Amino acid sequence: MEAGDDYWFDDRKKYLKKRGFEIVADQTGKLFNPDVFTLVWARRFAGYKRAGLLTTDEDRFQQLMTNTKYPVQIIWAGKPYPVDHPAISEFNQLVHLSRQHNNMAVLIGYEMTLSKRLKQAADIWLNNPRVPREASGTSGMTAAMNGAVNFSTDDGWIPEFINHGHNGIVVPKADYAHMATHEQDEYDLDKIYDILESEILPLYYDNYNTWRQVMKNGMQDVRHPFDSNRMVQEYYEMLYK
């Protein structure tokens, strides 16, 4: 985190990506490249979390996955509840789609070690729940602590944390209260792609020094305001003192 440690920082990030990609290889047989921008969506599968949102625009998803100027790798991981049939179907659809792309992987499970490895391997930690359904979003907190840049709809903990372009990336809110569900999904999807294509990928590939600073800012800004010490202190002062 010190001023002159950029070489070490970059080397460490590449090592952590390589280590995370070993799990991708073990589960899927796909060999991911640590030099390629890597987006991760990993958490419990539930309808409002919209795991497969990116894939619902087939043309833009195809363009994203075949972009030679700004190549990407995408990892999905998680598990639906046993009787949550829509979530199970969404998971299966992603697995089926992943067979068409060598740079897309769907991993089974979301236990502690896998969660840790994916947060360390991610360049972007994608979170796109329907606003205002997200209760908190603790995965994004620990992702930031591990050097992944949060890219999220403006819900849960995100309004308390993200300064767009400084320590993370946020989808600007619309007037969701007056939108039908499909209108909200279309708006968020369009904004996610616009930001990904025009801001995130050019920044990562054309101005990595700034990208690295966004990573570092996220790591720094999340450390104290979102740790358990602060939580316990607030409980004490606000409830018990």
Average pLDDT, the chain: 95
The yes-or-no verdict on residue 2 having pLDDT over 80 is no
Whether the Cβ atoms of residue 123 and residue 148 lie closer than 8 Å to each other? yes
> How does DSSP assign 29-63, residue by residue?
-----TTSEEEEEES---GGG-TTGGGGSHHHHHH
What gap in Å lies between CA 10 and CA 33, rounded to an integer?
A: 15
Q: Please report the pLDDT score of residue 59 as a whole number.
A: 98
How sure is the predictor about 28, in pLDDT bands with cuts at 50, 70 and 90?
A: very high
Architecture per CATH, domain 6-240, reads as: 3-Layer(aba) Sandwich (3.40)
What gap in Å lies between CA 149 and CA 138, rounded to an integer?
A: 14
What gap in Å lies between CA 20 and CA 238, rounded to an integer?
A: 40
Residues 6+ apart with CB under 8 A from 37: 70, 71, 72, 73, 123, 124, 201, 204, 205
The yes-or-no verdict on residue 5 having pLDDT over 90 is no
What DSSP state is assigned to residue 200?
I
Could you give the maximum distance between any two Cα atoms of the chain, in Å? Answer: 59
What gap in Å lies between CA 237 and CA 221, rounded to an integer?
A: 23
Mean pLDDT of 192-205: 98
The yes-or-no verdict on residue 4 having pLDDT over 80 is no
How sure is the predictor about 224, in pLDDT bands with cuts at 50, 70 and 90?
A: confident
Q: What is the pTM of this model?
A: 0.95
Task: Delimit the domains of the chain by residue range.
Answer: 6-240
- Report angle CA 38, 195, 177 to the nearest 5 degrees: 120
CA distance to 75, 125, 169, per residue, from 198 (Å): 21, 17, 12
Residue 194: Cβ within 10 Å count: 12
Mean pLDDT of 170-192: 97
